[in-house]
């Protein structure tokens, strides 16, 4: 590849060729016979041109006069300018352009100036860009010297680090929200314990039992938050392998509905299951946990007397499940965020409890199986439906033959309506 001026290089500037020293083993004696006519410097020149052209990082070279003598296509893309606008541009024009891109130019001006006015120092600066994608750009400057120690110019690397910053912000937000979730039960436990220990009075047995019950309840809440956080982390990181077994999903759903009917007697549950559903290969414990979170979500956000509808269908590739409630609904802009950790947008009849991690765990579980989960809602006050899809593909070859031996579902294919039992006083 030849560095012509039209390619974004000052052909008269050879200062940056000092990188050739790193490739000194590539002397003519190491070149194949077909390359024997190529001078070593020209070969290195061509190699470096190819490397720079194919870098995902933006790359700028400045000469001793602090003017741009070379740039690659990634630099043009990341800076959002045309080739001709970079040729022979002084570094201060590049700085001015970077400040125009920054979301908070005054905050990064000092950092950029420190780098720009110190050509012999290596430096790195991160700036948030003021565009719709909320991108982050890392600017890394480094000096370039010749063999005698003479400063020839410097290089600038530009990297899109949006994903890195998003990950850091997500972890920071998770820690902040986790601390908030842990703070309340700890305060209750501490308050009750301090009261019991700091007073010499003899406690009425009923009052003593009530305070001990509060400690026990809040300790359970702490345990739930910590365990659920660990579940999300294990599934996200792949630390915990799935324990795959064969599961007859209709039977599992019937058991869950029966359990929830007892736990939420003021709600009705309708279960629609086709007459024949293939065996699913999955982690039964994780799947049951995820489905419990979804049913809990439907019950929590549905009014008393509301109906929760569970429907199951399948094709040759996957099995699909939907859980529909008649509750508060979800605005379109929140349909994605509700699966974020600790994120709550809907309010239940008596206030939403729990750790705010259930939907995050459910998503992690389905994605760990190669499936997916999503939500839909006509809008606030019109209920919501959560959809789940899981592939049938077995993880072990031996399980493939068992799919033909699917036990038939006991349902006839018509909706199985489970009405609420007679109303009883709640303890």
Asked if pLDDT for residue 331 goes beyond 90, the answer is no
Alpha carbon distances (Å) from 243 to 247, 281, 282? 12, 10, 7
Residues in the chain: 427
Asked if pLDDT for residue 375 goes beyond 60, the answer is yes
Rounded to an integer, what is the distance from CA 131 to the centroid of its chain? 21
**Fold type of domain 244-418:** Heat Shock Protein 90 (3.30.565)
Q: Which one, of 372, 402, 404, 403, lies nearest residue 388 by Cα?
A: 372
pLDDT computed for residue 348 by the predictor: 45
Asked if pLDDT for residue 252 goes beyond 90, the answer is yes
pLDDT band at 393 (very low <50, low <70, confident <90, very high): low
pLDDT digits (tens, 9 = 90+) for 227-249: 777 776 776 666 667 888 999 99
Is domain 171-232 classified as CATH 3.30.70.1140? no
**H runs (alpha helix) in 89-204:** 91-101, 105-116, 162-198
Q: What is the Cα–Cα distance from 254 to 252, expressed in whole angstroms? A: 5
Q: What is the Cα–Cα distance from 119 to 31, expressed in whole angstroms? A: 36
Query: What mean pLDDT value characterizes the chain?
Result: 75
pLDDT band at 396 (very low <50, low <70, confident <90, very high): very low
Asked if pLDDT for residue 54 goes beyond 50, the answer is yes
pLDDT computed for residue 206 by the predictor: 86
pLDDT band at 402 (very low <50, low <70, confident <90, very high): very low
pLDDT computed for residue 217 by the predictor: 85
Which residues of the chain are in CATH 3.30.450.20 domains?
5-160
Cβ within 8 Å of residue 338, ≥6 positions away: 330, 344, 345, 346, 359, 375
Which residues of the chain are in CATH 1.10.287.130 domains?
171-232
pLDDT computed for residue 405 by the predictor: 36
Tokens read off for 261: 């009917």
Composition of the chain by helix, strand, coil, percent to 5:
45, 20, 35
Phi, psi of 69 (to 5 degrees): -110, -15
pLDDT computed for residue 351 by the predictor: 41
Which residues of the chain are in CATH 3.30.565.10 domains?
244-418
**Fold type of domain 5-160:** Beta-Lactamase (3.30.450)
Percentage above 70 pLDDT, the chain: 70
Cβ within 8 Å of residue 187, ≥6 positions away: none
Report, in angstroms and rounded to the nearest whole number, the Rg of the chain calculated over CA atoms. 32
What average pLDDT score do residues 83-106 get? 80
| 16 vs 225, more confident | 225
pLDDT computed for residue 163 by the predictor: 75
pLDDT computed for residue 71 by the predictor: 84
pLDDT digits (tens, 9 = 90+) for 124-179: 888 888 765 567 888 888 998 888 888 888 888 998 888 777 666 666 666 666 77
- 34 Ramachandran zone, left/alpha/beta (phi>0; psi -120 to 50): alpha
pLDDT band at 373 (very low <50, low <70, confident <90, very high): very high
Tokens read off for 211: 């305070």
What average pLDDT score do residues 206-222 get? 86
């Amino acid at each position: 590849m030849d560095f012509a001026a039209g390619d974004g290089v000052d052909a008269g500037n050879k200062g940056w060729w000092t990188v050739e020293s790193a490739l000194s083993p590539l002397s003519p004696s190491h070149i194949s016979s077909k390359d024997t006519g190529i001078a070593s410097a020209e070969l290195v020149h061509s190699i470096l041109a190819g490397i720079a052209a194919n870098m995902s990082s933006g790359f700028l070279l400045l000469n001793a006069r602090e003017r741009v003598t070379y740039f690659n296509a990634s630099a043009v893309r990341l800076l959002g300018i045309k080739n001709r606008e970079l040729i022979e541009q002084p570094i201060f024009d590049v700085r001015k352009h970077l400040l125009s891109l920054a979301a908070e130019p005054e905050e990064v001006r000092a950092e950029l100036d420190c780098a720009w006015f110190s050509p012999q120092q290596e430096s790195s600066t991160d700036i948030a860009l003021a565009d719709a994608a909320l991108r982050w750009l890392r600017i890394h400057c480094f000096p370039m010297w010749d063999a005698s120690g003479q400063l020839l110019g410097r290089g600038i690397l530009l990297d899109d680090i949006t994903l890195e910053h998003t990950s850091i912000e997500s972890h920071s937000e998770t820690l902040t929200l986790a601390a908030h979730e842990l703070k309340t039960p700890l305060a209750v436990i501490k308050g009750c314990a301090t009261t019991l220990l700091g007073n010499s009075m003899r406690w009425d047995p009923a009052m003593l039992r009530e305070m001990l019950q509060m400690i026990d309840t809040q300790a359970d809440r702490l345990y739930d938050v910590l365990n659920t956080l660990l579940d999300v982390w294990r599934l996200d990181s792949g630390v915990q392998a799935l324990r795959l077994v064969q599961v007859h999903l209709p039977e599992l759903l019937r058991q869950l509905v029966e359990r929830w009917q007892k736990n939420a007697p003021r709600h009705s549950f309708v279960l629609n299951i086709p007459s024949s559903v293939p065996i699913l290969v999955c982690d039964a414990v994780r799947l049951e946990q995820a489905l419990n979170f979804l049913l809990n979500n439907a019950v929590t956000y549905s009014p008393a007397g509301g109906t929760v509808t569970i429907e199951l269908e399948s094709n040759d590739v996957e099995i699909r499940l939907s859980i529909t409630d008649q509750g508060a609904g979800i605005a379109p802009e929140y349909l994605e965020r509700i699966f974020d950790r600790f994120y709550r947008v809907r309010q239940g009849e008596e206030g939403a409890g729990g750790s705010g991690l259930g939907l995050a765990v459910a998503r992690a579980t389905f994605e760990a199986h190669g499936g997916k989960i999503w939500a839909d809602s006509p809008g606030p006050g019109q209920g919501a439906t959560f959809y789940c899809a899981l592939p049938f593909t077995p993880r072990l070859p031996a399980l493939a033959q068992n799919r033909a031996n699917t036990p038939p579902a006991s349902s006839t294919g018509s909706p199985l309506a489970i009405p609420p039992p007679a109303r009883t006083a709640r303890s």
